[in-house]
Amino acid sequence: MGEATIRDVARRAEVSVASVSRALNGLNNVRGETRERIVAAAKELGYVPHAGARSLSLARAHAIGVVLPDLHGEFFSECVRGMDREASRRGYVLLLSNMHDDSEQSAAALRTMRGRVDGLLVMAPHITPESLERALPAALPAVLINAPGEVAARPALRLDNHAGAHAMVEHLLAGGYRHIVHIAGPESNVDAQERLQGYRDALAALAPDMPVRVIAGDFNEEAGEAAARQILASHEPCDAVFAANDMMAIGCLHTLRQAGKRVPEDIAVAGFDDVPLARYLALTTIEVRIAEIGARAVSRLVDMLEGKGPGGGVELYAPELIARATTAARTGATAHG
Amino acid sequence: MGEATIRDVARRAEVSVASVSRALNGLNNVRGETRERIVAAAKELGYVPHAGARSLSLARAHAIGVVLPDLHGEFFSECVRGMDREASRRGYVLLLSNMHDDSEQSAAALRTMRGRVDGLLVMAPHITPESLERALPAALPAVLINAPGEVAARPALRLDNHAGAHAMVEHLLAGGYRHIVHIAGPESNVDAQERLQGYRDALAALAPDMPVRVIAGDFNEEAGEAAARQILASHEPCDAVFAANDMMAIGCLHTLRQAGKRVPEDIAVAGFDDVPLARYLALTTIEVRIAEIGARAVSRLVDMLEGKGPGGGVELYAPELIARATTAARTGATAHG
DNA sequence: CGGCCGTCCGTAACCGGTTACATAACCTTT
DNA sequence: AAAGGTTATGTAACCGGTTACGGACGGCCG
């Protein structure tokens, strides 16, 4: 037995479907006595409106599609949590679809969203603007999060990775560290690219005589471990490691310590993201308030949907440096000594 | 301007909507030449089928509603990740709705799912079976995760919290610890209740002469810190703490260490969940493979939806103890010395 | 009393797909 | 050549809501 429909309610209350719809949606052109009969009938039948049908006739689904890449743990949940909080506050529900880096699959994911959501939140740090542009249904409002480049005047939220990395290099130099190695993220990831560039630019601006040294990584812990082994085996001097994210920093930290190195006395370690782990390991890092960004993305999208906002424009989020023990200043250090 | 509809495609290809539908859905009763014309027209218009309309006429949304309580970070994302993986593998998409403990709000959340999802995944460790029963649309298939009690023959997945807690107490006793304090979770949370009961039962069975001592908590880190302060201030002996979850164990661990206690020499600490942090802090805990449970829940639900499975029945997941340094055995300890 | 207005309510079209059924064209078969 | 079968396509009903439009009714006015 399927659920009761509006027609069942109409039959039971001995009115037309139009009256049921009006009564249940709180329109005022229904007589009090009729409304009561309808409400009673609806309750007796346990009637719940069919959201799908409703959204079809209203051309409004009150749902937001969320397309995220494969994020590491905490990051993902924080992002979704922020979105969910704001979405439910504004009467929307979230339709989730992970985008497993395959760009073909991503396009398919976006496709299945059409007709069930009013707008899209897309986080795609590893997709080129062109293919994203192509995959996005043109008529669907969308807010981009950390997308590379500008995509067809879509509003976007971007984390200021460059500023964050710059601040970190500055912090390390101020702490007296001179030979700073960077463990980079995936080459195709725009966050990783910007952090790398921030590192390069900061070094060029603040300590042009110091060597630029980059070890490739992929944002995973193992990459950090591998980088640490490489640093240990190398003859080149290195007194600080700045990893493009916390997980690599953590892997690096562990391997260095297991090899007998003292952190930060022998070598400093810093990350990026401020995952909860960072606090416990006293890891210096850059705080990324991802939940806030998620919430803000929803807010902007809903504003667009409800015609309240201009839409366009890129909002930049400045992250904050959190100094902890793994980069404690060297004793007797001077900023440029 | 609105997206192109099937009628636009039909007009452009000079056929009827029925043919378009048939061609695009791969039915074989369309002439090759006609099919090509239709496909070409669809591509030219950038036609994407309207999932809402489709699900209305098919009475199939290929979507699964997920209702979760406010979970702490990693736990949430792991759960959703497991679900998403399995869902996308089987061609479904996830509709997410956090259930912020308010039971009224939860009912509303469930209500908005009707007509947009084919089935429900509900994790509700803090809702009574009766109100859950009342809130669940009767005709919607649902799989319950860690729900208290049995709800109207709904299939369910349950974590064997009792066995996990029992194993932990056994492990601590075997390590030579005698005075084991339990930091409990929220009273209304069924996971917390079962863990507490497991602690009590294990102690009664294995060390009936040892005191049962429970400190109230709420699953948050702060509760662990408060519990640690209480233990430090108390005159009662205590050589081991078993917290109902990792976050409280971590809070406790920190506070104990900051107070100068050595762990595990002065006092052992154990948790429950195996959050990623646990590994780094060398915290002994009980591994809960939540992603696996999430994936399994999706799998069972989809089986039900596609008439492949019997549906009913409770599946119990046995968690595994992971012994780490915070509960290293006392030197010279014997199991019952 | 006739006309006008406002309130309440029902009929039916519509949202964008799917599909049962009808139909037309063409191919066999006897 | 007529009957019967097959195949490709179109027509229209349907999924479950919303809502424009119009009709019925009662009250009020001149």
Q: In this predicted model, what pLDDT tens digit does every residue of A26-49 receive, in sequence order? A: 998 999 999 999 999 999 999 999
Q: How distant is C1' of D2 from CA of B30, in Å?
A: 29
From chain B, the residues in CB contact with A77 under 8 A are 71, 73-77, 80
Q: Residue B101's pLDDT is what?
A: 66
Residues B231-258, mean pLDDT to the nearest whole number = 96
User: Which of residues 56 to 95 on B have a Cβ less than 7 angstroms from any strand D atom?
Assistant: 56-57, 59
Which tokens in the block code for residue B117? 């999802």
What pLDDT score was predicted for residue A335? 45
Q: Which fold has domain B6-49?
A: 434 Repressor (Amino-terminal Domain) (1.10.260)
- Stretch(es) of chain B classified as CATH 1.10.260.40: 6-49
Mean pLDDT, rounded, for B9-24: 96
Cα distances from B106 to residues A85, A301, B133, B134, B259, in angstroms, run: 14, 24, 12, 11, 42
pLDDT, averaged across chain A: 91
Domain A61-159+289-318 grouped into CATH 3.40.50.620: no
Across the interface, of B98, B116, B277, the residue whose CB is closest to A116 is B116
CATH code of the domain occupying A161-288+321-327: 3.40.50.2300
Residue bearing the bigger pLDDT, A333 or A39? A39
Separation in Å: C6 C1' and A302 CA: 38
Nearest by CB to A55, which of B52, B77, B114?
Answer: B52
Give tens-digit pLDDT for A60-70: 999 999 998 87
Answer whether any strand C atom is within 7 A of the Cβ of A31: yes
Q: Judge if the beta carbon of A18 is closer than 7 A to nucleic acid strand C.
A: yes
Give me the pLDDT at residue A329, please: 94
Instruction: Determine what percent of chain A is predicted with pLDDT higher than 90.
Output: 74
Question: Is the per-residue pLDDT at A336 higher than 50?
Answer: no
How far B306 CA lies from chain A's nearest CA (Å)? 16
Closest CA to A94 of B50, B58, B93: B93
B75: burial class by Cβ within 10 Å (0-12, 13-18, 19+)? buried
CA distance A336 to A285: 22
Contact B95/A96, CB-based, under 8 Å? yes
CB-based contact, B90 to chain A, within 8 Å: no
Shortest CA–C1' contact from B10: which nucleotide? Answer: D10
3 state SS for A78-106: HHHHHHHHHHHHCCCEEEEEEECCCHHHH
Selection from A88, A81, A201, A136 nearest residue B48 by Cα: A136
The ranges of chain A annotated as CATH 3.40.50.2300 are 61-159+289-318, 161-288+321-327
Superfamily grouping for domain B62-159+289-318: Response regulator (3.40.50.2300)
Residue B265, token pair as written in the block: 């020499």
Give the residue-averaged pLDDT of B287-302.
95
Tell me whether residues B98 and A84 touch, CB distance under 8 A: yes
Better-scored residue on pLDDT, B132 or B180: B180
The closest of B149, B147, B170, B166 to B157, measured between CA atoms, is B147
3-class SS of residue A272: coil
**Nearest protein residue to D13's C1' (by CA)?**
B57
Averaged over B176-191, what is the pLDDT? 95
pLDDT at A101: 67
Within chain B, all domains assigned CATH 3.40.50.2300 are found at 62-159+289-318, 161-288+321-327
Q: What is the mean pLDDT of chain B?
A: 91
Task: Indicate the DSSP class of residue A153.
Answer: T
- Residue A279 CB lies within 7 Å of the nucleic strand D: no
Q: Are A49 and A20 in contact (CB under 8 A)?
A: no
**DSSP secondary structure letters along B84-132:** HHHHHHTT-EEEEEEE-S-HHHHHHHHHHHBTTBSEEEEE-TTS-HHHH
Owner of token pair 């400093």: A268
**Per-residue pLDDT at A300:** 96
> Model confidence at B333, in pLDDT bands (50, 70, 90)?
very low
Name the nt closest to A32 by C-alpha to C1'. Answer: C8
SS3 A145: strand
pLDDT at B72 over 60: yes
Which whole-number Å values give the CA distances from B27 to A189, B10, B41, B306, in the listed order?
41, 16, 18, 21
> Which pLDDT score is estimated for B313?
86
Closest CB from B81, B97, B138 relative to A93:
B97
pLDDT reading at B334 higher than 60? no
- Taking only the tens place, the pLDDT of each residue in A46-105 is 999 999 999 999 999 999 999 988 777 678 888 998 999 999 999 999 999 887 767 777
pLDDT at B336: 44
CB of A51 within 7 Å of some strand D atom: no
Identify the pLDDT of residue B203. 98
Using the predicted structure, report yes or no on whether residue B172 has a pLDDT greater than 50: yes
Q: Which of residues 41-80 of B touch strand C (CB under 7 A)?
A: 47, 49-50, 53-54, 56-58
B-chain residues near A76 (CB < 8 A): 77, 80-81
Residue pLDDT, tens place only, A132-185: 888 888 889 999 998 877 777 789 999 999 999 999 999 999 999 999 999 999
Per DSSP, helices labelled H in chain B are 6-13, 17-24, 32-45, 51-58, 73-89, 103-113, 129-135, 161-174, 190-206, 221-233, 246-258, 276-280, 290-305
Q: Give the pLDDT score at A337.
A: 37
CA of residue A15 to C1' of nucleotide D30, angstroms: 37
Cβ-in-10-Å burial (0-12, 13-18, 19+) of B8 comes to middle
Rounded-to-integer distance, Cα B54 and Cα A64, Å: 18
Whether the predicted pLDDT of A233 surpasses 90: yes
